[in-house]
């Protein structure tokens, strides 16, 4: 009977493999007792600790100033602790941007207790990833290879490795609980791997690895009401991480765009369009000449999939596009007039032609503001609507008239004295030669009016 059971289990496993499935559940008590130790010994040397120190100035209590002559401002050192992953043997390390943000002195500690001064090559708040470099003096360090996060399936076993609470390198195991999760603004690209492998403070920037020792994600955040692990952790997929690392080593991230946007299809929208179920993104705007426009996408179409991956919302659509390289072709399926259609999109960078920048001078309310014409590339950099037109404030000199009147980065100048503003040159002309200004500014969803004499 035992031989028969073993034979049936073996045939079932082989049948699963014959169908293209290389994932099987344990078939015997011996398999259940298998250890993760070989995987851990392979990947653990490439997971490091990251320490970021920053000097913070804060006001001293007036009591101490009055009676003890204390300096009104004092400095103190704050230190953040996180983890990182060596992804290149020559000392290239990836971690979370929030681990090193604002850090003035960043140290990396290897598992063998050696410490190195780290230099930030790239810090990208939009993906919450940062790329560091340490000088290894020619030594080749253990490094993890990237896995393909698109091949993950819910239920796959994974290991999380990092330094929670600063207690030392720790390994936890779990499964992939969900894919393509949003996580309340942790990054601009809300497309996370969810896992129940225990992730706690200090794990940020650590490795999420598969059973073959491949880096499949960078542990980023947790969902918790208490600050501790409750079995819901989020990791940035390896395919996004690889794009950031490659961009950092090439001089900067180049983010492709689709040139169209919209909203997730609801049940009501699906019924009105003849879709069997809510799926895809209903396109509400298409930029002329964009990759979407060249592929024939128009307003009212529903993008259902990209390269065979289902699109649930705008986050998924952006992720599928940005993980391509400029020049790549992507196959899309979209719904129009009750019929599913296929097209090919040529992935490209957002155009930047016609950008003009300048600093406003002279006696006027915007003196000291650095401004620019809005292009799709600039709108993408500043996370604005890519259809936006006009002139946007890039920065404001703190000692300028613009700062005095409250101008902020991201303000869009709409009108001055009733004239619509379309370019930096026009803005400078309209501001000059008058002593009274009525300025309309768009700040987010609000339009503000400023009258100055």
CA distance 407 to 401: 9
**Residue at 67 is within a domain:** yes
Is pLDDT above 50 for 18? no
128 as an active site residue: the answer is: yes
Domain holding 378, by residue range, is 357-452
Q: Taking a C-beta distance cutoff of 8 angstroms, is the pair 79, 71 a contact?
A: no
- What local confidence, expressed as pLDDT, does residue 320 receive? 93
Catalytic residue among 80, 83, 128, 313: 128
Q: Are residues 249 and 264 in the same domain?
A: no
Q: Are residues 319 and 301 in the same domain?
A: yes
98 as an active site residue: the answer is: yes
What CATH number is attached to the domain comprising 115?
2.40.10.120
- What local confidence, expressed as pLDDT, does residue 10 receive? 46
- What local confidence, expressed as pLDDT, does residue 79 receive? 67
Mean pLDDT, the chain, whole residue set:
86
Residue 385: CB atoms within 10 A of its CB come to 11
Q: Are residues 327 and 379 in the same domain?
A: no
Q: Output the pTM of the full model.
A: 0.80
Q: Are residues 41 and 108 in the same domain?
A: yes
Q: Are residues 324 and 362 in the same domain?
A: no
Each residue of 68-112: pLDDT tens digit?
555 555 555 556 688 999 999 999 999 999 999 888 889 999 998
Q: Are residues 442 and 339 in the same domain?
A: no
Is pLDDT above 80 for 4? no
Is pLDDT above 70 for 283? yes
**Residue at 28 is within a domain:** no
**Residue at 103 is within a domain:** yes
**Residue at 15 is within a domain:** no
Angle separating helix axes 314-322 and 238-249, nearest 10 degrees: 50
Q: Are residues 265 and 320 in the same domain?
A: yes
Each residue of 202-244: pLDDT tens digit?
788 999 999 999 999 999 887 665 555 667 889 999 999 999 9
Is pLDDT above 90 for 440? yes
**Residue at 438 is within a domain:** yes
- What local confidence, expressed as pLDDT, does residue 8 receive? 42
- What local confidence, expressed as pLDDT, does residue 74 receive? 57
| pLDDT band of 408, cuts 50, 70, 90 | very high
End residue of a domain, out of 322, 346, 370: 346
Q: Are residues 296 and 209 in the same domain?
A: no
Is pLDDT above 50 for 182? yes
What CATH number is attached to the domain comprising 406?
2.30.42.10
Q: Are residues 235 and 201 in the same domain?
A: yes
Contacts of 283 (CB under 8 A, 6+ apart): 260, 261, 262, 292, 297, 298, 299, 300, 301, 302, 303
Catalytic residue among 204, 220, 305, 314: 204
Token code pair at residue 422: 């379309």
End residue of a domain, out of 203, 232, 253: 253
| pLDDT band of 433, cuts 50, 70, 90 | confident
Catalytic residue among 80, 98, 163, 305: 98
- What local confidence, expressed as pLDDT, does residue 71 receive? 58
Q: Are residues 203 and 68 in the same domain?
A: yes
**Residue at 89 is within a domain:** yes
β-strand pairing of 215-222 with 115-124: unpaired
End residue of a domain, out of 253, 284, 305: 253
**Residue at 240 is within a domain:** yes
- The larger pLDDT score, comparing residue 62 to residue 446, is at 446
Mean pLDDT over 333-349 rounds to 95
Is pLDDT above 80 for 332? yes
Q: Are residues 43 and 188 in the same domain?
A: yes
- What local confidence, expressed as pLDDT, does residue 44 receive? 93
Contacts of 180 (CB under 8 A, 6+ apart): 191, 192, 312, 315, 316, 319
How many domains is the chain partitioned into structurally?
A: 3
**Residue at 22 is within a domain:** no
Each residue of 153-174: pLDDT tens digit?
999 999 999 887 667 788 999 9
Q: Are residues 159 and 282 in the same domain?
A: no
Q: Taking a C-beta distance cutoff of 8 angstroms, is the pair 73, 60 a contact?
A: yes
Mean pLDDT over 134-160 rounds to 94
């Amino acid at each position: 009977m035992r031989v028969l059971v073993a034979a049936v289990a073996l045939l079932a496993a082989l049948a699963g493999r014959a169908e293209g499935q290389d994932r099987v559940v344990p078939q015997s008590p011996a398999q259940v007792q298998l250890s993760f130790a070989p995987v851990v010994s392979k990947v653990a040397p490439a997971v490091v600790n990251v320490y970021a120190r920053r000097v913070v100035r804060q006001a001293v209590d007036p009591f101490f100033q009055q009676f003890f002559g204390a300096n009104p401002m004092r400095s103190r050192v704050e230190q953040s602790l996180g983890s990182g992953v060596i992804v290149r043997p020559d000392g290239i390390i990836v971690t979370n941007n929030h681990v090193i943000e604002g850090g003035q002195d960043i140290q990396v500690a290897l598992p063998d207790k050696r410490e190195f001064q780290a230099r930030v090559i790239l810090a990208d708040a939009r993906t919450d990833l940062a790329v560091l470099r340490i000088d290894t003096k020619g030594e080749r360090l253990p490094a993890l290879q990237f896995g393909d996060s698109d091949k993950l399936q819910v239920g796959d076993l994974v290991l999380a490795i990092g330094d929670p609470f600063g207690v030392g390198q720790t390994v936890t195991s779990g499964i992939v609980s969900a894919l393509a999760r949003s996580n309340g603004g942790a990054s601009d690209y809300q497309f996370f791997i969810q896992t129940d492998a225990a992730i706690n403070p200090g794990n940020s920037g650590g490795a999420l690895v598969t059973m073959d020792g491949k880096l499949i994600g960078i542990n980023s955040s947790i969902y918790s009401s208490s600050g501790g692990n409750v079995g819901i952790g989020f990791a940035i997929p390896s395919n996004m991480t690889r794009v950031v690392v490659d961009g950092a080593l090439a001089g900067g991230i180049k983010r492709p765009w689709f040139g169209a946007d919209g909203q997730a299809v609801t049940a009501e929208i699906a019924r009105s369009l003849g879709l069997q179920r809510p799926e895809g993104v209903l396109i509400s705007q298409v930029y002329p000449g964009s990759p979407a426009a060249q592929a024939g996408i128009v307003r009212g179409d529903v993008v259902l999939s990209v390269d065979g991956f289902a699109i649930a919302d705008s986050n998924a659509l952006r992720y599928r596009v940005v993980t391509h390289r400029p020049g790549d072709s992507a196959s899309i399926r979209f719904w129009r007039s009750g019929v599913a259609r296929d097209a090919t999109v040529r992935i490209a960078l957002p155009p930047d032609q016609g950008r003009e920048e300048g600093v406003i001078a002279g006696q006027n309310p915007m003196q000291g503001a650095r401004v620019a014409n809005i292009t799709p590339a600039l709108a993408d950099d500043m996370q604005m609507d890519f259809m936006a037109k006009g002139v946007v404030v890039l920065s404001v000199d703190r000692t300028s008239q613009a700062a005095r009147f409250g101008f902020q980065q991201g303000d869009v100048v709409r009108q001055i004295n009733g004239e619509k503003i379309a370019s930096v040159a026009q803005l400078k002309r309209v501001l000059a030669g008058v002593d009274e200004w009525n300025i309309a500014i768009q700040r987010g969803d609000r339009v503000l009016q400023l009258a100055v004499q």
